[in-house]
Chain A
């Protein structure tokens, strides 16, 4: 018996044999409500029952002085008849690796519930354009909000991409929650060596159950890029503006979610987008990318990561023991310093001690844009003397993942320094032209 109610409401409803989606009648004073029992989210109180009335409206009824009568038991949600998928010889195969997010869900209007697709056919029913671009299949991995992902999840995704590409896919699309999409994109960039096909992370800032969803354009652009894009990189493909006109292709190691909610929340930092993709075509905006190679993929998987790395955001007045703890608890520390890569004066001796204990400390900047430079001011020079590794133009999150990668391969400080300061996947050494910093009022 399923009944998503707790406490008092659960007692009252279950004593009458009421289950989710049953049709019931509630008499309360002079009013009579008739409708379907809707499951109540756990965090709500236990004093109301939610009914979906015939008009479609939900209302919450206070369970006090009510008379309840079950009229009809709930019916299971009906699955729609959908045409089956046909493989098209002329189109490439691209898997849609599902990790979470809402891109594979839809609303059931009889209950208002958002339910998951099980088959790509259902997605094609909503985005029929995809069938003209790729042969698609679902590879369900897990369903997590992206804030809950860990380096273990990144490994699973990397393995799935590796398997699919080795099987003959022309590219891979990963449906992903947007919160930490740029972390995953960067992790894949380091773990997928000798990459020769595009690996594309896609998501939506407005879920696909809404008519105004950004997922449609994002998916079309992702599929087009996976199937036809000339690049072989781990990238994010999401809206490039508030318009539904085009998506940007952003190198995963240079991508940052810079807005909590806008469609164009993902922006490249320190370089232009690689390409702009409309419903119809791909327009390259940069020639700095690893090119796609034809034929069956020869990609290699190197998923050795040391997850025990910390990222510390410096603030004015930050106490010394905060840093000390990080140095003791973790095998590597990335500092998002202020300005050119600075920390308060009183942290510097601790930095020196941490490095001396064999724990690498990488310095990046919380400014995000620009590169760190530890030679300009005295604080920076002292940090260098203390033994930090400057992170160049790497984003703090990217330095974090790269340090995990480096520590996954060696514990030798000089080797770590060498890895951190060598460009592996486009994360380091961007050309900082004056056209890569985007204030909106220019």
Chain B
């Protein structure tokens, strides 16, 4: 649908999380992610804390609904007692603070004078302490932020915080996390909700990401930067959408979120016009297992074989609503299923608008409706599970159904690969912070004094690349966005044409990646060796794609090794040329010197990548002359 975003009052703000390229924030462990299994698992529980008014905070309540064990995977060599919450944090990593301040200044933000480290309560287990250490480093202001085609996007805050632990497994009764990621310094950049349309959000995210990379001191690669998007529309509610990794998906996520909220509002209006009230939903949970004692449904048979039962509630006045599509492929029922999964740990729900189906016949549906007391216009929701889980699931479904009568609930949602979003947890309350008394506050003045010069802005770095190395702007941006400026400049010293180097770093790698080659195995030293050998003339340009391919696959440990196995001497080349001349002798005699192109083509087919093309060309010319003279 075509939407006038201004008219519906779209407001979008971004929160960008970027890992910094330095050791951990509160200990001296390296900021590296592990691929091997942890050396040991530690089992913990978290207790719930109370908010200022004495009420348990909604997010905390939500987690405490589930008495969960948390297992933390530790590595003896790259994680320590600090990550395991067995020792107090060390003083804040000053380099991380310096990088954060640099970023703040590049964005025209105002640093605070004294940085106080806070504990932000997080009881989902993603921090061993039960809180995330975080500090407000700088504030926005009128002059802060970035320009986009649609106007300025101001910054709100810059915080420096600990990265959370890496989730390995999540079940209702326990979650497993790895501690290699916990404590990596993370900058959280939040914009004001100045973004007015989906495309502007993408541009803002791209520009902010470029400024972060322009420091040259942020981590790169998968997962090192992620965007959260805050979206609201007039009459709707603010949503926090987590974990967007692909910039190009941002506009679609926003478009679909707007669609979802508009559809939820129209559901509300429809329900109101049907006269449905919240108290209509206060109906008991009923065990309807007896209906399915001889069910043909595989789904139900499987559940019952595990000792699970079928529970249901009547949903008065909701007929046709549960099946209504909110986003492409996601129905209102899907939202309910998310709640049931998250709160009750069940597999999902079955609802009146999709049954008969899943092997459940009309007869069974009618008996369920009868047991639940459904009249015409009513729908129902079923859950398969054990009693306590089913109760939690259906209670949360009922709560969500009530919210449908009020409009759009404020939620933390998870971005899905197609641009849809799924419910993750309720939006956390606000008062969840208290000071980290184990760490002294840091006066920023001495650190600001150390920052003599800011890194050049991305546009300047790119302009410099185009001017100094005669690159097109497009190629220069690609080098910049791939984080290869420094590498490119290093390679350019070997006297190889810069455009070739640029395309090696950018387009060759990209096309290999498209072909499915594991290009993540390519190291800077590989590129450097290639440039060096190219410069010396020991490697042919034509061979570079094949070299990169072989190195990706790990077939050779170095470029030098590749060259040693593939290089061809001029003598060997001459033999190939002679063979080709011999094979095609009649045609050569016929064409004379015009046979050059044909011979060259034939020879190159044999020697491509093994010897420089210009040498081949020269020898082919000479050999052809000799051949013609001799005949």
Contacts and interface: CB of A to CB of B under 8 A. Distances in A.
A377 interface: no
Contact of B87 (A106, A110, A262): A262
B470 to A, nearest CB: 42
B112 A262 contact: no
B377 interface: no
Contacts of B141: 30-31
Contacts of B165: none
B238 interface: no
B115 A59 contact: yes
A240 to B, nearest CB: 12
B433 A109 contact: yes
Contacts of B157: 55
B58 to A, nearest CB: 14
Interface stretch (B49-57, B197-205, B608-616): B49-57
Interface in A321-368: none
B52 A108 contact: yes
Interface residues of B, number: 54
A263 B72 CA distance: 15
B32 interface: no
Contact of B88 (A244, A245, A261): A261
Contact of B113 (A48, A53, A78): A48
B86 interface: yes
Contacts of A260: 87
B85 A206 contact: yes
Interface in B62-121: 81, 84-88, 110, 112-116, 118-121
Interface residues of A, number: 46
Given A78-B53, A212-B85, A261-B88, A59 B116 contact: yes
B44 A210 contact: no
A56 B47 contact: no
Contacts of A58: 116, 118, 136, 433, 435
> Which of A50, A106, A109 counts the most chain B CB atoms within 10 A?
A109
Nearest to A106: B50
> Which of A30, A108, A210 counts the most chain B CB atoms within 10 A?
A210
Given A56-B430, A81-B54, A216-B45, A30 B87 contact: no
B44 A107 contact: no
> Which of B130, B131, B139, B435 counts the most chain A CB atoms within 10 A?
B435
Given A31-B141, A78-B53, A211-B123, A60 B113 contact: yes
A212 B44 contact: yes
Nearest to B69: A244
Given A108-B52, A262-B81, A242 B441 contact: no
A60 B84 contact: no
B86 A261 contact: yes
Contact of A55 (B136, B434, B435): B136
A38 B441 CA distance: 13
B433 A243 contact: no
A262 B120 contact: no
A261 B87 contact: yes
Nearest to B57: A109
A87 interface: no
Contacts of B87: 260-262
A210 B129 contact: yes
A26 B441 CA distance: 20
B43 interface: yes
A163 interface: no
B434 A112 contact: yes
Interface of B: 42-54, 81, 84-88, 110, 112-116, 118-121, 123, 128-131, 134-136, 139, 141-143, 157, 159, 430-435, 437, 440-441, 443, 445
26 contacts: A30-B142, A38-B435, A44-B440, A54-B430, A56-B118, A56-B430, A58-B116, A58-B118, A58-B136, A58-B433, A60-B441, A61-B113, A80-B50, A80-B54, A81-B54, A109-B51, A109-B432, A109-B433, A210-B49, A210-B131, A211-B47, A211-B121, A212-B44, A212-B128, A261-B88, A263-B86
